[in-house]
């Protein structure tokens, strides 16, 4: 019974618990696992330490991202069943153990151990940690799911902002040559993230059964198009066209964003000869800030304008911005930075709005598990995006092009990718009733919302 403190039943909040005490638990986890986006800090020291090239070192990150998608998809149902505390606990153990095994690999110069540690074990921690707080937040904030998931997933973007200077500081503290400081830096990061994620795990709470925010009723939000009042299981969700259309939407949004992220620093320098290496690093930092803030701002906006219109903006306006970048990007540095900044904010918003979109379409009972399955789109885009971008850039270079011309074709291809996503989003309709779980309380069926007046329930709690 040693694990009982982790059980779902032990995680239920007492009545009257302030729901604003839940987001920091989610943030603690996402800020920790967001370190993966700052992995590039270790690339050059790892290349030197192992005496190898960039490709085998880059594989560490790729394995971690693929494992993120796979573990989120495979473990999603377990996460939903076990509750957020046990899931966060396991994620914390995997993520920090990944650093420890990775450090062992570095210390013994065994690259396969780094693949196994940071890539496989850490990657499993990433996947479980990413989805673990999402459905909990949606349950606490049924009136503002976009804001709630935006807060958590903003943490994933913010994690890189913290880890990047922190890793630099650790590498320069432990040794004069960063290549000799990787193992202790890994161990330190693993220890910090273990503490942070455990704090999150033991802070998270589930709302009591039947809990609702004061003055809120599902009837009111269900009047909005696309918002179901039924529930769909994860097994059924993947049989619906809506799931695969949304998969396509996420895949297209991520692929296009990677088009900029992958080559942000060389891109601005190829567009403007006056931009120094330090300024290019500042540009990458600015894009990270836009990526992070977009996750919160646009996701919260989707609570007001609706999920489908929000994705029409991400993909439709995004396509226009990419086109402008391809055709008028060289006009001025300010215009270039403005266009790419908005594009990256849409990229981040696409990640954080998707759980709320899933909640609208499939209900809340297994939204975490469905989200996990959807994240395979991220893994696929993580492989496809760089392949398209790097392949096209190499082809342009081989054709003798240089400067901004190197990127024109890949930017225009991304316009096409976004248009495909835009059409997929347009095709999303409410989920057919045959996929909904049978419910005893027919208030929760979608077909009858208009006939029932909104009402407060006896279980409503102060929020």
Q: What does the binding site for other proteins look like in residue numbers (CB under 8 A)?
A: 5, 9-18, 21-25, 27-28, 31, 155, 158, 160-162, 164-166, 196, 199-200, 202-203, 205, 208, 275-276, 278-286, 288-289, 337
Distance, CA of 437 to CA of 356 (rounded, Å):
19
* Residue 79 exposed, middle or buried by CB count within 10 Å (0-12, 13-18, 19+): buried
Q: Which is nearer to other proteins, 58 or 208 (CB)?
A: 208
Q: 347 or 435: whose CB is closer to other proteins?
A: 347
Q: Considering beta carbons, is residue 32 or 425 the nearer one to other proteins?
A: 32
Question: How far is residue 366's CA from residue 363's CA, in Å, rounded to a whole number?
Answer: 8
* Smallest separation, CB 327 to other proteins (Å): 23
Rounded to whole angstroms, how far apart are CA atoms 111 and 171? 19
Least distance (Å) from other proteins to the CB of residue 314?
23
CB under 8 A, 24+ apart: contacts of 415-418: 415/319, 415/322, 415/323, 415/326, 417/252, 417/255, 417/256, 418/252, 418/253, 418/256, 418/315, 418/316, 418/318, 418/319, 418/322
Closest CB 221 distance from other proteins, rounded Å? 27
Shortest distance in whole angstroms from residue 11 CB to other proteins: 8
Q: Which residues contact 250 (CB under 8 A, 6 or more apart)?
A: 350, 351, 354, 374, 377, 378, 381
Residue among 151 and 413 whose Cβ is closer to other proteins: 151
Three-state DSSP string of 435-456:
HCCCCCCHHHCCCCHHHCCCCC
Task: Return the number of the residue (167 or 410) whose C-beta is nearest other proteins.
Answer: 167
Question: Which token pair is 155?
Answer: 């943490």
Query: Tell me, what DSSP letter sits at residue 117?
Result: I
DSSP conformation class of 210: T
For residue 246, what are its two tokens? 């949304």
Q: 263, 284 in Cβ contact below 8 A?
A: no
| Non-local CB neighbours of 134 within 8 Å, separated by 6+ positions | 26, 149, 152, 153, 355, 367, 368, 371
If the CB atoms of residues 15 and 224 are measured against other proteins, the closer one turns out to be 15
Q: How far is the CB of 183 from other proteins (least distance, A)?
A: 24
Of 264 and 424, the one with the shorter C-beta distance to other proteins is: 264
Least gap, CB of 157 to other proteins (angstroms):
10
Taking the least distance from each CB to other proteins, the nearer of 30 and 229 is 30
Q: Which is nearer to other proteins, 280 or 404 (CB)?
A: 280
Please report the sign of the dihedral spanned by the C-alpha atoms of residue 306, residue 253, residue 32, residue 291.
Answer: negative
What are φ and ψ of residue 298, in 5° steps?
-70, -35
Q: How far is the CB of 20 from other proteins (least distance, A)?
A: 8
Q: Tell me whether residue 120 or residue 339 sits nearer to other proteins (CB atom).
A: 339
Q: How far out from the chain centre does Cα 143 lie?
A: 21
* Beta bridge pairs of residue 212: 460
Which long-range contacts link 99-102 to residues 24+ away (Cβ below 8 Å)?
99/186, 99/187, 99/189, 99/190, 99/193, 100/186, 100/187, 100/190, 102/186
Query: Is 383 within 8 Å of 280 (Cβ atoms)?
Result: no
Tell me the closest approach of the beta carbon of residue 364 to other proteins, in angstroms: 20
Shortest gap between Cβ of 340 and other proteins (angstroms)?
12
Least distance from C-beta 289 to other proteins, angstroms? 6
Nearest to other proteins of 271, 308 (CB atom) = 271
Measure the CA–CA gap between 408 and 404, rounded to whole angstroms: 7
Query: Residue 91 or residue 113: which is nearer to other proteins going by CB?
Result: 91
Cβ 404 to other proteins shortest distance, Å: 18
Q: Closest approach of Cβ 29 to other proteins, in Å?
A: 10
User: At 23, which helix (H) or strand (E)?
Assistant: helix 23-33
């Amino acid at each position: 019974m040693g694990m009982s403190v982790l059980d779902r039943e032990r995680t239920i909040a007492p009545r009257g618990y302030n729901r604003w005490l839940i987001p920091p638990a989610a943030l603690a986890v996402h800020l920790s696992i967001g370190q993966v986006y700052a992995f590039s800090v270790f690339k050059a020291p790892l290349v030197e330490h192992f005496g190898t090239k960039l490709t085998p070192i880059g594989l560490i990150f790729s394995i971690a991202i693929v494992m993120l998608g796979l573990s989120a998809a495979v473990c999603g149902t377990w996460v939903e069943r076990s509750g957020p505390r046990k899931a966060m606990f396991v994620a914390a153990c995997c993520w920090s153990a990944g650093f420890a095994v990775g450090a062992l690999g570095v210390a013994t110069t065994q690259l396969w151990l780094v693949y196994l540690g940071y890539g496989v074990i850490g990657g499993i921690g990433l996947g479980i940690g990413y989805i673990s707080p999402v459905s909990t937040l949606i349950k606490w904030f049924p009136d503002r799911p976009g804001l709630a998931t935006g807060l958590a997933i903003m943490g994933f973007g913010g994690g890189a902002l913290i880890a990047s200077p922190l890793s630099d500081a650790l590498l320069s503290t432990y040794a004069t040559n960063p290549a000799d400081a990787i193992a202790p830096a890994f161990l330190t990061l693993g220890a910090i993230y273990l503490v942070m994620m455990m704090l999150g795990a033991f802070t998270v709470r589930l709302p009591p059964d039947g809990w609702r925010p004061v003055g809120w009723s599902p009837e009111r939000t269900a009047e909005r198009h696309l918002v179901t009042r039924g529930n769909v299981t994860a097994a059924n969700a993947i049989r619906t066209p809506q799931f695969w259309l949304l998969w396509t939407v996420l895949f297209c949004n991520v692929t296009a964003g990677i088009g900029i992220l992958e080559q942000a620093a060389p891109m601005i320098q190829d567009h403007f000869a006056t931009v120094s290496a330090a300024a290019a690093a500042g540009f990458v930092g600015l894009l990270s800030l836009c990526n992070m803030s977009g996750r919160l701002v646009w996701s919260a906006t989707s609570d007001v304008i609706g999920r489908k219109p929000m994705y029409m903006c991400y993909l439709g306006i995004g396509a226009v911005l990419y086109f402008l970048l391809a055709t008028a990007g060289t006009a001025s540095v300010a215009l270039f930075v403005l266009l790419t900044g908005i594009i990256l904010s849409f990229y981040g918003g696409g990640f954080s709005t998707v759980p709320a979109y899933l909640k609208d379409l499939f209900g809340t009972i297994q939204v975490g598990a469905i989200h996990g399955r959807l994240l395979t789109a991220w893994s696929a885009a993580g492989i496809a995006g760089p392949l398209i971008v790097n392949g096209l850039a190499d082809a342009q270079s081989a054709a003798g092009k240089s400067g901004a011309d190197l990127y024109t074709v890949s930017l225009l291809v991304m316009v096409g990718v976004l248009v495909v996503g835009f059409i997929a989003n347009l095709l999303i309709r409410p989920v057919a009733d045959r996929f909904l779980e049978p419910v005893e309380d027919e208030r929760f069926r979608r077909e009858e919302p208009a006939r029932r007046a909104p009402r407060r329930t006896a279980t409503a709690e102060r929020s």
